[in-house]
Amino acid sequence: MNEQGYTLLEALFQLVVFVLIAHLVVFIMLWFAEMKTTVLSDEQSKWELFVYDLNMYLKDISSLTIRQDQKRITFQEADTIHNIDCYSNLIRDQVNGGHVPMLIGINKCQFQYEKDMLTIAVELPSGIKKERTFYVPVIEK
């Protein structure tokens, strides 16, 4: 450094370093805010687990029917008959006299089945609407 005092060149260098660090801090804050919104929320995680479970159930089924009010589907898998229905604020699987909650905390749900395509539409308490369509070939045995 210069022993005679503070030079303009040193001031400009410190200003450039400060601006770069300030930009880096702003970039990190914006990135953190974006990550906070894109990481799966609790509701989205539950929805994806439900979709995975239902997809596993729908493999190799021999019959599928849907109730008139579109609140229940019934299908046969091997020797087991499953009734998946919207009940109060959950979607449950009724099998062998008991029931298994599959998705808890919903406002509405609806099932539609057309041409080997099963569509499930759900409204979550936060107002988010989720919909998923599954290809469900019914294999006659």
pLDDT in tens, 102-119: 999 999 999 999 988 999
Query: Residues 21, 48: one domain?
Result: no
What's the total number of domains in the chain?
A: 2
**What would the two tokens of residue 51 be?**
């979709």
One digit per residue, the tens of pLDDT, for the chain of length 141 reads 556 777 888 889 999 999 999 999 999 999 988 887 766 678 888 999 999 999 998 888 888 889 899 999 999 888 889 999 998 899 999 988 899 999 999 999 999 999 889 999 999 888 889 999 999 887 765
Expressed as residue numbers, the domain containing 90 is 42-135
pLDDT at 72: 93
For residue 140, being part of any structural domain is answered with: no
Radius of gyration of the chain (CA): 27
